[in-house]
Amino acid sequence: MIRFALLVLLAFAGTQVQAQSYSFSAVQIEGNARVDQATILSYAKLAKGKPVSAAALNDAYQRIVGSGLFEKVELLPNGGTLVIRVVELPMLDQVDYQGNKSLDDTALIAVTKSRARLVYSPAQAELDAAAVADAYRVKGRINAAVTPRIIRLTDNRVDLVFEITEGAVSEIQRLNFVGNRDFSDYRLRQVLRTKQAGILHALIQRDSFDAERLPLDEKLLSDFYQSRGYIDFKLLDTTAEYSRDRQATFLTFTIQEGRSFRIGKVSTISEVQGVDPAEFDAIRRLRSGVTYSPTVIDNNATAMENLAISKGLNFVRIDPRITRNDHDGTLDVTFAIVRGERVFVERIDIEGNTTTLDSVVRRQFSTVEGDPLNPAQIRNAAERIRALGYFSDVAVTAGSGDSADQAVVKVAVTEQPTGSVSFGVTYGVSNGFGANLGFSEPNFLGRGQSLDVSVQSGTS
């Protein structure tokens, strides 16, 4: 005989668990059709024949609910039997997007997790709706609204439809700068990829707010100052504020300029036995008194490393060492010729080239598998790949290989359209009206070969 010392009512969204301490010899599961009993019992984790407290029953309830498989769960002590009554969440038969025009289904699928043949989760549907709205906000559609709707089908199945109202694109009404002393707002606006809306705003997409463009703008701003000697430049904050109707965006960059430094003393030294620094110093173009620029420093170091390569000096590196002189605002630069680590190229991996053949990219490298790894040659190859004009983005990096003395060079590219079509109308006194149609493709069939076709016609 089970004695109830206290009747405890635990209410959990329609669930009742009675008794402070309870012991049962059997479990009866009701309402499950798709989820088997063993799965439910594995979540409950309740032992038969042992006293079970109200807290333990509560924990069991929370675990079953937390599985995300059920719409409703009840734990009902009934004599020596514990009844677990469930209502299963429906299965997703189809997930659809309605109202999307500027972003296609593929882009929206990439930011959502609800999928056909998975259990429908109302919480996940809300998270997915928020993710879709965020994807639109990143593209400047601040007023985008997304509502998840379900269409109930037979056999406990539903279709999930995300109803989308895209809204208008928010324009950049004003680009503001705070903290700039040496350069005007007008000059700094010219640096950014994002543009302020003007008379031709309908034809310029860059005057719409795009959060994905902000990192590029921030880098362009930093590069602008660094290349002019402002080595202490800091971007303190970037904020976007919206008009009341959220149709206009006010973008503000808060910066700390610092001071501009110039080049002080410049020298070249060698820490490699048998290597004379004088020959390397002779090709140095950096001179005292000019404004400091990281790009100029890198170009000088690259030229010296290329000289080392031409002389057969493998594993020799140029290490620019900079000494700061705050009293006169100069930077002393020492180009140190040092012995680098003995690392060889294990392989070159290329990814992202959906059209261009691997061979077109590989022939931009003077380095092949098995050669000593030389950063200068890798940088030169990256510049040659960019110069092809086939890719909108190029990233070349060197990572660890299968052993400590090997490296894998990874090339990641993003293809961009390269073909162009031209059309023109001509008129001549003797030939009358004519038309010409031209097609140009500098990367025909992805082989890096040019194809130019021109057709002309006329009437006389």
Query: In the CATH hierarchy, which fold is given to the domain comprising 344-415?
Result: Ubiquitin-like (UB roll) (3.10.20)
pLDDT digits (tens, 9 = 90+) for 69-88: 998 999 988 888 899 999 99
Check residue 17 and give its pLDDT: 45
pLDDT digits (tens, 9 = 90+) for 22-79: 788 888 999 998 899 999 999 999 887 778 888 888 999 999 999 989 989 999 888 8
Q: Are domains 91-165 and 262-339 of this chain identical in fold?
A: yes
| Best CA proximity match to 18, nearest among 29, 27, 28, 9 | 9
Q: Looking at the domain covering 9-88, what would its CATH class be?
A: alpha beta
CATH 1.10.3720.10 fits 171-256, yes or no: no
Q: pLDDT tens, position by position, for the chain (460 residues)?
A: 333 222 333 333 344 444 456 788 888 999 998 899 999 999 999 887 778 888 888 999 999 999 989 989 999 888 888 999 999 999 999 999 999 999 999 999 999 999 999 999 999 999 999 999 999 988 878 888 999 999 999 999 999 999 999 988 888 888 999 999 999 999 999 999 888 866 444 444 445 777 778 888 999 999 999 999 999 999 999 998 888 877 788 999 999 999 999 999 999 999 999 899 999 999 999 999 999 999 999 999 989 998 998 888 888 889 999 999 999 999 999 999 998 888 889 999 999 988 889 999 999 998 888 888 888 788 889 989 988 888 888 999 888 888 888 889 999 998 887 665 555 655 555 656 566 666 566 666 666 666 666 666 655 5
Specify whether the CB–CB gap between 116 and 95 falls below 8 A: yes
SS3 sequence of the chain: CCCCCCCCEEECCCCEEECCEECCCEEEEECCCCCCHHHHHHHHCCCCCCCEEHHHHHHHHHHHHHCCCEEEEEEEEECCEEEEEEEECCEEEEEEEECCCCCCHHHHHCCCCCCCCCECCHHHHHHHHHHHHHHHHHCCCCCCEEEEEEEECCCCEEEEEEEEECCCCCEEEEEEEECCCCCCHHHHHHHCCCCCCCCCHHHCHHHECCHHHHHHHHHHHHHHHHCCCCCCCEEEEEEEEECCCCCEEEEEEEEECCCCCEEEEEEEEECCCCCCHHHHHHCCCCCCCCECCHHHHHHHHHHHHHHHHHCCCCCEEEEEEEEEECCCCEEEEEEEEEECCCCEEEEEEEECCCCCCHHHHHCCCCCCCCCECCHHHHHHHHHHHHHCCCEEEEEEEEEECCCCCEEEEEEEEEECCCCEEEEEEEEECCCEEEEEEEEEEEEECCCCEEEEEEEEEECC
**Residue ranges of domains in the chain:** 9-88, 91-165, 171-256, 262-339, 344-415, 420-458
Tell me which of 3.10.20.310, 1.10.3720.10, 3.30.70.20, 3.10.450.50 is the CATH number of domain 262-339.
Answer: 3.10.20.310
Tell me which of 1.25.40.10, 3.20.20.70, 3.10.20.310, 2.60.40.10 is the CATH number of domain 91-165.
Answer: 3.10.20.310
Check residue 12 and give its pLDDT: 36
Check residue 73 and give its pLDDT: 94
Check residue 374 and give its pLDDT: 82
Specify whether the CB–CB gap between 21 and 5 falls below 8 A: yes
Check residue 230 and give its pLDDT: 97
